[in-house]
Structure 1
Amino acid sequence: MPDSSRNPLTLARFELRRFKGPLPRLALAFILVVPMLYGCIYLAGNWDPYGRLNQVPVAVVNHDVPTAVNGKEVSAGRDFVDSLHRSGTFAFADASSADAEAGLERGDFYLVITVPESFSRDLVSAKDLDPRRASIELRRNDANGFVIGTITNSAQNSIARAIDETAVRSYFEAVFANLDTIRGGMQKAADGAARLDEGLATAHDGSSALVSGLHTLRSGAAKLSEGAGQVADGTAQLADVVDPVLSAAAERLPEAQKKVQDAADRAADLTAAVADDAARLDDVSSSLSDDLDALLADHPELADDPVVARLSTHAAKLGAFTSSAAEKAAKVADDVAAADTRLHSLGDLSAKATSAKEKVDALRDGAAKVSDGAATLRDGIAEAAEGGDALDDGLAQLSEGAHTLATELAAGAARIPVLTAAEQDDAVTVMSAPVDVTMQVDNPAHVNGRGLAPMFFSIALWMFGISAFFLLRPITGRVLAARGSDLRIGLTAWGTLAATSVVASWIMLAVAWIGLGIAPVHPWLLIALTTLVALAFSAIAHLLRTWLGLVATAGMLLLLILQLTAAGGTYPPEMLPPFFASLGRFMPMRYSIEAFRIAISGGLMSRFVLDVALLALVLLSSVVLLLVVVHRRRRFSMKDLHPPFG
């Protein structure tokens, strides 16, 4: 007959035979479903809470007063509320302020959204000099539950997007409402610019004619100035000749009567020449006056031009001077003739000679003034011609600019689209939300429960190591006293817990798979991983219980608490405080959670292999340490015979 002390299976059967009767077996069955209770019940209750957000009641209070922009009504508050109802994110309900406040206090509403009276007015205030930001009030009551408060708080981003869409929609509605006005204004401006172009073209033609006339007048003025200079020279010559003669005549008239007669003849010749020059100068002056009159008749707008006025004045003075010169020259001739006839009859000609000299001097002075006036007239007309050239060039540039302005305004008005009401609505819809943002998720968890399963599977298998010892014994004196190696005794002691742990983990996995629909991406890897984690965690639990006894329960709970905070089951390590982030590297649950994620939802297989290797190392290390503890326990002492905690 084989030695039962050497057969681990026989020793394990002896341990399980203790559970006789319905209650002990029921207790054993309960222990087997503990991982299922921890790992599946919570997941079942929270499998997809975000899929039922549309059942969360949220009150919407709309106090907005519509406003008008360019005769078109803008009701941004109503549009915002309509967009909330269309989104279906929550169970939005329109309510008054009093009902919303009372419902929030009683828990009938988890969030109250209030649209103020000035919402529409503030949204369109950008067109004014005092733009204002529109506001929306969100109010929650954490007495109704902090978690639901954080969930509703996450709706702030979607509400902000809805507000932005409403604001942009209101803005573009106002813009499209102004398109017809803008187009009409640009067309009127284009028509006005075209008329300006035509007027400037006409003015340019007139300025060209004016410049031509001024150049003709300039030529005539030059001739007039030249003739006036000749008259001045002639009168100066006359004075030079007559003055000495008259002076000498006054002194020596009795002795030089014959010479006076000769001088009178010569003076008559000179006065005749002066008269001829004055006549020619008068013709030039008359021609200049006629040209000015013709120019003013063709261009009456030049009547007020100061240059033309100066030309007319100088021309009139020139005519007066030439007439005066001619008259004086004729008078000198008459005087000379009279002097000749009276020379013999008059006794004292000295005074008359002096008078004649003065008149000749006056003629010389008048001719000089005529010459100076003609020069001034010539210079003034030259300045007028230069100004006319500048005016003609400026009008040409203005005409070209007006033509360009009219062309561009007409083209701009043509580019402004003419939209129907339906086209405007379509354009407003697209431009108020011009971008569709899509999120691509690699290895998606799909639902909340599927994402939390890795952490709760790990917690459930760890808790089994704590609760199993309410019924199972880590090791018995009979096993310790049995003959066999430490390896055989250690594996025998751990075998019962390991077997029940694996069975319990498979029950948990079956319920999650069939009952909840966890649908792992790598099913066989998930089964193998669940088995490995069950063995590793049970080995840790058995090691601590065999080593520390009942105190190990407190140690297992402490390790569980530390792993819940440091393993990164809910938040990534980067979001944890530095102490817990560093501690998590040494926690086996961190690697079980990461491996479960990859087996359930998919991920990097190299990380999965590393996690499995680390869990296998934990299992192997725990078994080795268990053998060390078993070896020490097989050396009995008084403490073993009378344990402190029974």
Structure 2
Amino acid sequence: MKNIFKIFIRDLKSIVKNWVALIIIVGLMILPSLYAWFNIRASWDPYGNTGGIKVAIVNKDRGGNLQDKFISVGDELVNKLKDNTNLGWEFVSEEEGNTGVERGIYYATIIIPEDFTEETLSIMNRPIKRPILIYKVNEKSNAIAPKITDKGITTIKSQVDTNIIETVDGLIFKVLNEMGVSIEGSKDKILKLMNGIIELNNKVPEIENIINEIYKGSSKAEDLISKAKENLPLLQDTLTSSDNLLVDTKNSLEKSKEALGEVAPVIKSDLELINTELSNLEELINAVININIDKNSIINGLDNISVKVANINDKINGIIKALEPLSKFNDNLKEIVNELNLASSKLNSAIDVINQVNDAINNSKPIDKSKLKEIKELIAANREIILSILNNYDSKYIPAINNAINKLTEISDNSIKLLDEAKTAIPDIDSLLDTLDNALKLGKDDIEKLNNEMPNIKASLGELSSKLSSINKEEDIDKLLSLLKNDWEAVSKFLGSPVEIKEQVLFPIPNYGSAMSPFYSTLALWVGALILVSLLTTDPHGFKEKIDFKSYEKYFGKLLTFGFIGICQCIILTLGDIYLLKCYILNKWLFVGISLLSSIIFIIIVYTLVSIFGNVGKAISVILLVIQVAGAGGTFPVEVMPSFFKKVNPLLPFTYAISAMRESVAGVVKANLTRDITMLLSYGIIFILIGLFLKGPINKISKKFIEKLNESGLIGH
């Protein structure tokens, strides 16, 4: 032990007494920090400054008409992009856009063709065409910029899709809404007409009796005929008006049927999303139940679960609102609405239980694990309901939605058919009344002829009355109105953007530079270790008396020197990250501590390799650096890398050093931090054992090899 400290103290004295050596050592302490600081600062907020990335917009769209309304989707898109600062939009001519992207003035050019609006509105006509945006990108100009402009074109497409759906479907549902209002205004007339025909049929026996009485010389029919002819023009007008309204309604329903059909896949997508979120909630509540954590962590966990439960409940209520108008036409749809109402009720119960647990914790009462299990059971039961609906959705509920829409159309068709028959029968009724009126003036012979014709008239009127009586008149009309009079703006917006994303960020980091500080700091510490072994010797020199140091004394003695300088490098680096660059670091002392541990481990690894293998060890250290920069997941997620890097990632010291620093920067997950520190310590122990037991034997074996290599004059001593 004495000789180990003798080597270390001798090195410190040499540094202090030799001003050239002191300057070099101070430079070695500062140099790694500069490497990290410049890289962190350069990447401080690249995605917050994308407004400088120029993208040309060329609008050639000539617009189009929908329901006598002029629409230009291209102009609407340009107006929205003028308020969008995500990229540097430049609105130019086609020639300027093409030339600019070719010369690198613009990173990309987006051309809106002349027929963009016409193809957008083809959904109302046949054949349907998909509108096209022309996207030209210059990938030679920069490696990252095209990826950012790709995101820009995706954003534009999303905006266009939403605008198309809201505009076109909005007009369809608005027409239906206005039609529903019109029908509602004539509802009393339609019912009066239908009731009038049925009542007239009911009076046929009375009319027959009257004719018989007339035949016998009675005059009782005069008043009835007069009243009937008086009301006939009103019935004729009402019938014509109602017929036109129902024809218009049927045409509008046919146009909107395809748009209504889009509700089914949207609802299924929402149910699948709800199922996934419920599965995630089960994992969260299991974590709260099974892991012994402090009360604050339990409160935070339950608050997070409560927010997610409320969001899921909102989605379920949105689906209920979309299905309720159609459920009046189909029992299967009533069933799914009832199931969703049950699911919503269970979610409300889960929120109530969460509030009870939080209140108990806030009042310093012990945590009731049975309540936590009750929450879990409610969420599990809710998921079973959603899974049951999803399992039957394609086979049972999609046909139910289509059947409801078809039934609505069928009601309209039947009503039109019946009214057409009624309109056809009106002249016969009018002729009958005229005949009856004239019959009063006829002799008994003519009345006898009329009496003979009554069976045919009676049969025709009876058949029409029977068909009108077969439908539940007021109920069916009300069902038709309930769909047509929907909130057309709300339905249009629902189809345009059925799912609203509510982002919840865990462990937020305000800027990209702070997020990258763990990677660049780790990289700088390894580079610092490499610089040390490149400029400083790993063997003890400069002693006046000859000392026969043992191999382990040489190893640990010089390791103290390298470790001391490495610690100084780390302190300068971390303090600069915190106070010079002002990186966002949630736990500053932990950040410094993890950096010190990482620096010491890296020094041990690199020093051990060079101490044992000499210049070959330096090469190995450089190779490790290259592999770790690519494979440690410091920049891109390891999941997107080739299979080789996925396999080596768990074996690299960088992986755990970067992960541990991220815990200190954004927030600690104890399991992750414990794993990272354990792995770093394991690397240190392994390499110390390697140096302790292999330095002497390998140095003896490689002595002649190194001497021969030095004879070449190409390798430094």
Q: Return the match for 2:506 from 437, 442, 445.
A: 442
Aligned counterpart, 2:310: none
| Contact kept in structure 1, 2:97 and 2:109, CA below 8 Å | yes
Q: CA deviation at 1:6?
A: 5.9
- Structure 2 residue matching 1:562: 3-state secondary structure: helix
What is the alpha-carbon distance in structure 1 between the residues aligned to residue 17 and residue 707 of structure 2? Answer: 21
Aligned counterpart, 1:607: 672
Q: Return the match for 1:105 from 96, 102, 105.
A: 102
Aligned counterpart, 2:19: 20
| Contact kept in structure 1, 2:139 and 2:146, CA below 8 Å | yes
Which letter maps to 1:525?
L
Aligned counterpart, 1:569: 634
Q: CA RMSD in A?
A: 4.3
Aligned counterpart, 1:331: none
What is the alpha-carbon distance in structure 2 between the residues aligned to residue 552 and residue 484 of structure 1? Answer: 22
| Contact kept in structure 2, 1:70 and 1:178, CA below 8 Å | no
1:56 equivalent to 2:53? Answer yes
Which letter maps to 1:522?
N
Aligned counterpart, 1:526: 591
Aligned counterpart, 1:543: 608
- Structure 1 residue matching 2:144: 3-state secondary structure: helix
Q: CA deviation at 1:198?
A: 6.6
Deviations along 1:595-636, one digit per CA (max 9) or x if unpaired, are 111111124211111111111121122222222344447869
- Structure 1 length-normalised TM: 0.66
What is the alpha-carbon distance in structure 2 between the residues aligned to residue 134 and residue 487 of structure 1? Answer: 75
- Structure 2 residue matching 1:124: 3-state secondary structure: helix
Q: CA deviation at 1:572?
A: 2.8
What is the alpha-carbon distance in structure 1 between the residues aligned to residue 143 and residue 595 of structure 2? Answer: 34
What is the alpha-carbon distance in structure 1 between the residues aligned to residue 479 and residue 665 of structure 2? Answer: 67
Deviations along 1:270-308, one digit per CA (max 9) or x if unpaired, are xxxxxxxxxxxxxxxxxxxxxxxxxx99866599xxxxx
| Contact kept in structure 2, 1:12 and 1:492, CA below 8 Å | no
| Contact kept in structure 2, 1:123 and 1:170, CA below 8 Å | no
Indicate how the Cα distance of structure 1 residues 84 and 3 shifts in structure 2: closer, same or farther if over 3 A, else same: closer
The count of residues paired between Structure 1 and Structure 2 equals 494
What is the alpha-carbon distance in structure 2 between the residues aligned to residue 297 and residue 570 of structure 1? Answer: 91
Q: CA deviation at 1:9?
A: 3.6
What is the alpha-carbon distance in structure 2 between the residues aligned to residue 138 and residue 414 of structure 1? Answer: 41
Which letter maps to 1:535?
I
1:128 equivalent to 2:128? Answer no
Aligned counterpart, 1:255: none
Aligned counterpart, 1:170: 167
Which letter maps to 1:28?
I
- Structure 2 residue matching 1:582: 3-state secondary structure: helix
| Contact kept in structure 2, 1:67 and 1:121, CA below 8 Å | yes
Aligned counterpart, 1:408: 477
Aligned counterpart, 2:88: 91
Q: CA deviation at 1:543?
A: 0.8
What is the alpha-carbon distance in structure 2 between the residues aligned to residue 402 and residue 631 of structure 1? Answer: 103
Which letter maps to 2:190?
A
Q: CA deviation at 1:392?
A: 5.2
| Contact kept in structure 1, 2:163 and 2:496, CA below 8 Å | yes
| Contact kept in structure 1, 2:7 and 2:540, CA below 8 Å | no
- Structure 2 residue matching 1:58: 3-state secondary structure: strand
Question: Where does 1:334-483 land on structure 2 (aligned, <5 Å)?
Answer: 390-391=459-460, 393-398=462-467, 400=469, 404=473, 408=477, 412=481, 416=485, 432-433=496-497, 435-477=499-541, 482=547
Aligned counterpart, 1:508: 573
1:494 equivalent to 2:569? Answer no
| Contact kept in structure 2, 1:112 and 1:139, CA below 8 Å | yes
- Structure 2 residue matching 1:30: 3-state secondary structure: helix
- Structure 2 residue matching 1:113: 3-state secondary structure: strand
Which letter maps to 2:6?
N
What is the alpha-carbon distance in structure 2 between the residues aligned to residue 513 and residue 470 of structure 1? Answer: 29
- Structure 2 residue matching 1:146: 3-state secondary structure: coil
Structure 2: tracts of 5 or more residues without a match: 217-429, 438-443
Q: Return the match for 2:134 from 132, 137, 141.
A: 137
| Contact kept in structure 2, 1:72 and 1:177, CA below 8 Å | no
The worse-fitting range, judged by mean Cα deviation, of 479-488 and 92-101 is: 479-488
Q: CA deviation at 1:29?
A: 2.6
Deviations along 1:443-485, one digit per CA (max 9) or x if unpaired, are 1233222222222122111111211233311123557963566
- Structure 2 residue matching 1:139: 3-state secondary structure: strand
Q: CA deviation at 1:493?
A: 0.9
Aligned counterpart, 2:303: none
Indicate how the Cα distance of structure 1 residues 634 and 200 shifts in structure 2: closer, same or farther if over 3 A, else same: closer
What is the alpha-carbon distance in structure 2 between the residues aligned to residue 192 and residue 401 of structure 1? Answer: 19
Deviations along 1:169-194, one digit per CA (max 9) or x if unpaired, are 32245336635763576368758735
What is the alpha-carbon distance in structure 1 between the residues aligned to residue 676 and residue 57 of structure 2? Answer: 49
State the percentage of identical aligned residues.
Answer: 18
Deviations along 1:52-110, one digit per CA (max 9) or x if unpaired, are 11222211111111212122121211111111222321121211111111221222211
- Structure 1 residue matching 2:49: 3-state secondary structure: helix
What is the alpha-carbon distance in structure 2 between the residues aligned to residue 418 and residue 18 of structure 1? Answer: 87
What is the alpha-carbon distance in structure 1 between the residues aligned to residue 192 and residue 610 of structure 2? Answer: 105
What is the alpha-carbon distance in structure 2 between the residues aligned to residue 530 and residue 131 of structure 1? Answer: 61
Indicate how the Cα distance of structure 1 residues 208 and 15 shifts in structure 2: closer, same or farther if over 3 A, else same: farther
What is the alpha-carbon distance in structure 2 between the residues aligned to residue 494 and residue 19 of structure 1? Answer: 21
What is the alpha-carbon distance in structure 1 between the residues aligned to residue 171 and residue 185 of structure 2? Answer: 22
Which letter maps to 2:465?
A
Which letter maps to 1:394?
E
Which letter maps to 2:601?
A
| Contact kept in structure 2, 1:211 and 1:388, CA below 8 Å | no
1:589 equivalent to 2:588? Answer no
Aligned counterpart, 1:7: 6
Indicate how the Cα distance of structure 1 residues 434 and 88 shifts in structure 2: closer, same or farther if over 3 A, else same: farther
What is the alpha-carbon distance in structure 2 between the residues aligned to residue 39 and residue 490 of structure 1? Answer: 29
- Structure 2 length-normalised TM: 0.60
Question: Where does 1:173-212 land on structure 2 (aligned, <5 Å)?
Answer: 173-175=170-172, 178=175, 182-183=179-180, 186=183, 190=187, 193=190, 196-197=193-194, 200-201=197-198, 203-204=200-201, 207-212=204-209
